[in-house]
Amino acid sequence: TLSEPFNSSREECGIRLSPLRSNLLEWHFSFTGMEGSPYEGGIYHGKVRLHHEYPRKAPSISLSTPSGRWETDKEICLSASSYHQE
């Protein structure tokens, strides 16, 4: 499942990604905090929501787990996300 620990060494960051069965435009992901970082031991969950016009429109990306870096369940500002439509 997405909530079980996995690959957290500096050599290999653990990432899992899976679409919702009921909606292929919504993908859930989780990744582990890398050892030696303030995030070590944590498992962080998020969502990628693909626009119905994807790839012509950028996806929306958000994190659901508090990390101290981003607000939870708020769209993340990335150059390749829908936060910036240009």
Catalytic residue among 64, 77, 78, 84: 77
What is the length of the chain?
A: 86
- Is 77 annotated as catalytic? yes
Kindly state the tokens that stand for 40: 């070590």
Determine contact, residues 72/66, Cβ cutoff 8 Å.
Answer: yes
**Gap between the Cα atoms of 3 and 22, Å rounded:** 20
Q: Which residues are catalytic?
A: 77
